[in-house]
């Protein structure tokens, strides 16, 4: 596993998204999740992504326990901002200074560490200007509790305003064969020295061709996701499957290596964080780095983003 300079923070070329280990993607399995994190470290996947909101803190505790005694081996990224205390139907995004500071203290306690390597604002705040929020995050850097700052799902205006307060290391946004939104920000990200951390690079599993919505449990949010309804996007998964069959790879590997390959086209560091709670899928994802896409593959894959039916949420 090689490493990448992500806006000043050196991380493994591929990371691990840990959200599904706690909720949203079916039942949680603590022991299997810990085994997956340990196997990730063995394979050189040291960039771990979590958030205070995943499982209402459960995920940070899990990640913290899994890396206990191995802090020097990992780059820990967590997030704050989404407030679910009023219920998921009344969630808000907070960015007021006091909330930012308290959220960080709580995350450090759950993770069992003295500092996090990358601290993200999870979504644009609804109750504060971005300057107040990033200003509070900058205070955390000065206090030694946070090493680098990140944002998630922001537009160019907010990114520029945030960078005027403190350097931003990374922007985490959904990015995959069927979600191309972050590409419009590539020029400003190059200008400001910001790297891209794509979440859901496998299209929430859809691009792997292994997800059957008819068998998903009620706790899996994809049951209600517009893009998973019916067969509207079946042709996209079929196209990925056909490319994979020709190359002797899996659909997941093809979808993932396509995301990796966009770093050269966009001119910015790109470090995807495919999420999984199972060792077998982790190993498959890491093996994607050995897959090579030829011109014929790109000719099939590049246009898929224009064929998507349904909103992201």
Give catalytic status of residue 54 as yes or no: yes
Residue 72: CB atoms within 10 Å: 7
**Gap between the Cα atoms of 113 and 186, Å rounded:** 33
DSSP strand pairing (9-12 vs 3-6): antiparallel
SS3 content of the chain, % helix, strand, coil (to 5): 50, 15, 35
**Gap between the Cα atoms of 136 and 60, Å rounded:** 21
**Gap between the Cα atoms of 183 and 179, Å rounded:** 9
Q: Which helix (H) or strand (E) holds 213?
A: none
Active-site residue, selected from the candidate residues 54, 119, 120, 199: 54
Radius of gyration of the chain (CA): 19
**Gap between the Cα atoms of 140 and 63, Å rounded:** 21
Strand partners, 79: 120
DSSP 165-212: HS---EEEEE-BTTB-GGGGGHHHHHHHT-EEEEE-TTGGGGGGT---
Contact (Cβ atoms closer than 8 angstroms) between residue 268 and residue 278: no
Q: What are the CA-CA distances from residue 156 to residues 5, 23, 80 (Å)?
A: 22, 31, 20
Residues tagged active-site: 54
């Amino acid at each position: 596993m090689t490493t990448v300079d992500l806006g000043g923070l050196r991380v493994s070329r591929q990371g691990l998204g840990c959200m599904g280990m706690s909720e949203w993607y079916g039942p949680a399995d603590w022991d299997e999740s810990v085994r997956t994190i340990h196997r990730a470290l063995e394979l050189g996947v040291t960039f771990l992504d979590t958030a205070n909101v995943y499982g209402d803190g459960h995920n940070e505790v899990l990640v913290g326990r899994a890396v206990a005694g191995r802090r020097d081996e990992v780059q820990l990224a967590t997030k704050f901002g989404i407030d679910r205390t009023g219920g998921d139907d009344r969630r808000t995004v907070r960015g007021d200074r006091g909330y930012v500071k308290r959220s960080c203290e709580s995350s450090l306690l759950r993770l069992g560490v003295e500092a996090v390597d990358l601290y993200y604002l999870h979504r644009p705040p609804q109750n504060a200007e971005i300057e107040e929020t990033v200003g509070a995050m900058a205070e955390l850097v000065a206090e030694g509790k946070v090493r680098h700052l990140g944002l998630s799902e922001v537009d160019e205006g907010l990114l520029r305003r945030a960078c005027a307060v403190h350097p931003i290391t990374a922007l985490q946004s959904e990015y995959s064969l069927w979600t191309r939104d972050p590409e419009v920000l590539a020029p400003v990200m190059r200008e400001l020295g910001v790297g891209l951390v794509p979440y859901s690079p496998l299209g929430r599993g859809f691009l792997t061709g292994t997800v059957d919505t008819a068998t998903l449990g009620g706790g899996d949010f994809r049951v209600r996701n517009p893009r998973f309804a019916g067969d509207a996007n079946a042709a996209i998964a079929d196209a990925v499957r056909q490319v994979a069959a020709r190359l002797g790879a899996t659909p997941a590997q093809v979808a993932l290596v396509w995301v990796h390959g966009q770093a050269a086209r966009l001119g910015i560091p790109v470090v995807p964080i495919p999420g999984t709670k199972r060792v077998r899928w982790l190993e498959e994802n890491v093996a994607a780095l050995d897959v090579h896409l030829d011109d014929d593959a790109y000719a099939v894959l590049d246009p898929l983003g224009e064929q998507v039916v349904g909103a992201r949420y």
